[in-house]
Structure formats: C-alpha cells, structure tokens
Amino acid sequence: MNNFFLAANGSVETVPMVSLLANHFIPGCELPDRSGSSHTRLLSTTTGHHSVTVTVRPSGVDVSTSAPSSQLPGLTATIRRWLDLDTDLTAVATAFDDDALLGPLVRHRPGLRAVGYPEPFEAAIMTVLGQQVSVAAAGTFGGRLAAAYGTPGVAGLTVFPTPEVLAAAPPEQLRTAVGVTRTRGATVQHVARAFCDGLTLHGDPASTRTALLAIPGIGPWSADYLTVRVLGDRDAFTPGDLVLRRAMGNPSIREAETLSERWRPYRAYALFHLWTEATSAEKVPQPHVSR
C-alpha cells in the first residue's frame, strides 16, 4: 500500500464532505465510514482499477491506495479534482459575504468544497438512476446494476459496469435486474451508447451540456447536475433541483435561475452551500430574504 497526504488549498469542512460521499455511495462499489471520516472505492488508472481510501481532515485528505507508485501522479490529480482540493475559497467567501442568503452559510462553513465524481461514466449513469427518486433509492439501483453487470475488483469491491457492457445488455434483462422502469432502463442504455460513440464529460461545459441534452431521457436537471459535479464548472447551477429550491424559499425554476445570477461566477458553490444547509441537522439562522 502507498500512503500519503494531500493538502487542500485552505480549510476543509469535514462533516459535509464525508456525509456527501457516504450518502451517495454505491453498494458493492464503495465503502463509506462516517465515524472514521473515510471513504473507500476503486479508481481507474492506466494499469487498471485500484482501491483508494481517503480520510478527510480539516487541512486535506490522507490517502491509502493499492496502486503502484507509478500511478500515484495520476491518482493524485484525480483525487484533488474529485474533492476540489485546489480551489482557494477566499474569493468565494468574499463574493458571498454581503449576500443575505449565502453570507451566513459561507461564514458558518468556510471550507465547504464542490465535491465532484472521480469516474465520469459512473456519474452519468448514477445521475440517470437518481432522476426523480431519493438519493438512497438511486444508490440501491446503482448497487443492483453493479452486481449484475460489474466485475470483481481488488479489496472485495466491484468495478462499475463499462459503457460497452451496459449498451449490449438485453433491455428487459437490465430493467429487471435494476428494478427501474422501461423508460429509465432505456435512458441508461442511451447514455452508455453515447459514451461508446465517443461522448466524454470534459472540455467545454456548454458544448458538453448540449451533447448531453441530445441523449433521449436526459433533461436540463441531469445535464446541469453533471456540469457541476463532473465537468467542474464553478458557475454551473441546477435551478430545477427540488432540494435547492426549498433552500431558496421555494421559487419557481425560472425564479431560481434569475436569483442565481447574483452569485456568478461561483454559482456551483452557492449550490453546494444551499444543498448542505438543506440536508444538515445543524441549521444556520437566516434573516428573511425577499425575492
């Protein structure tokens, strides 16, 4: 095993990061440990998939991995991008300091980071499985999909299915194995085929979002969510997200989009602060905010 520490550019809010990783875990593919502030999963490298355990600290993350030393530079880059360790949050705090809604949240959680996904195809499929269901239900569907179509990996973990395997699966077999509707199963396979045809979730966010919206079954919420969580666009936003809009005082989608304009160019951080506040047991006192 290789063990090392990755320092963050500034502080890290440990509880929200650990909670997000644990809440969104895929059974069989990931092992969350809230009490130990750690999370274990497989990450892909040029030599295959290797187990990685990240333990979240206030100043960064401890990493333990089965990957050989030759793969550590690539893994380091993946982990830093996944957990948003390189962002200097000073500019975010300054931008939101005078905002009646965001200011108190940022002052309460100054080290909150925009956590992404380390594996783009996995993220796209999990986003589809998460459409219009709870986070827990999406994890259940993801675990079933991995059990049926994934492959055994190291540390007793399962490698998430490849685009080729999901694209080739008999549609009714896939639907039954996962327990989703025919429409949702079809969207999973549409996404898999798009990846087989060359779709990648990196590069220009606007053109990638357009490519996502061209896939049957992918709507604005899914495209926006992936733009935030995978493409790492720090000005992306998900105005159609129900949890977000509850945290904003229940505006319409159009009103949420309009309200978010004042948070540019850091709307993704506004999103994470509002998501975190909405799902946290510890609420930050807020003044009345008029729309």
Q: Give the DSSP per-residue string, the chain.
A: -EEEEEE-SS---HHHHHHHHHHT--BTTEEEETTTTEEEEEEEETTEEEEEEEEEETTEEEEEE-S-GGGHHHHHHHHHHHTT-S--THHHHHHHTT-TTHHHHHHH-TT------S-HHHHHHHHHHTTTS-HHHHHHHHHHHHHHH-EE-GGGPEEPPPHHHHHHS-HHHHHHHHT--HHHHHHHHHHHHHHHTT--S-S-HHHHHHHHHTSTT--HHHHHHHHHHTS--TT---TT-HHHHHHTTS--HHHHHHHHGGGTT-HHHHHHHHHHHHH-SSPPP------
Active-site choice (84, 224, 233, 241): 241
Distances (CA, A) of 136 to 27, 132, 142, 155: 10, 12, 10, 24
Query: Would you say 14 and 58 are in contact if contact means Cβ atoms under 8 Å apart?
Result: yes
98 is catalytic: no
Query: Would you say 185 and 175 are in contact if contact means Cβ atoms under 8 Å apart?
Result: yes
Which of the residues are catalytic?
241
